[in-house]
Amino acid sequence: MNAENGAVSLRSSINGDDGTVYKVRVLASDGGTPPLTDTTVVTINVQRNLKAPVFQPNNYNAKILETQDLGVPFVTVKAKDEDQKPPYNQFRFAITGDEQGRNYFMINENNGAISVKQGLYLDSQKRTRYTVRLCIL
Ligand SMILES: [Ca+2]
């Protein structure tokens, strides 16, 4: 702590320390004899979001029939976030990218299960390959 202006800064790295809340008691004293003082507590919450979630594996391939039942998962994606504590190791899934993925497919935001949202036989372009882009929130 800077004795002149009261600024609190880190003396050493807190990476690897398990604590997420630190309480620092701060004393102010004047130049009188005896000095008059007051104390306060500064509570410091450390956000430990050091790692981004990562899909494991990076790419998925699935083969389904044109008549795949709607809402029945046919592939489930997985991801991992190596942060130690919630909420920093929690995440949700979403479909992103162009409309081809979002029109025909949906994902369970919690468990990553992907299913068909709209019958593929309705696709006027009769595509046989769809690319679904996913993101982790
Ligand atoms: Ca994280």
The answer to whether residues 101 and 117 belong to one domain is yes
Residue-range definition of the domain harbouring residue 66 = 54-136
pTM: 0.72
**Cβ contact 82:71 at 8 Å:** no
Q: Are 58 and 82 in a shared domain?
A: yes
| Domain count across the chain | 2
pLDDT tens for the chain, residues 1 to 137: 888 888 888 888 877 666 678 999 999 999 999 999 999 999 998 888 889 999 999 999 999 999 999 999 999 999 999 998 899 999 999 999 877 788 999 999 999 999 999 988 888 888 889 989 999 99
112 C-alpha vs ligand 1 centroid, how far in Å? 17
Together in a domain, 34 and 77:
no
Distance 50 CA to ligand 1 centre (A): 6
Asked if residue 62 and residue 29 are part of one domain, the reply reads no
Virtual torsion, Cα 49, 50, 53, 57, nearest 10 deg = -160
Q: By C-alpha distance, which of 120, 133, 116, 117 is closest to 60?
A: 133
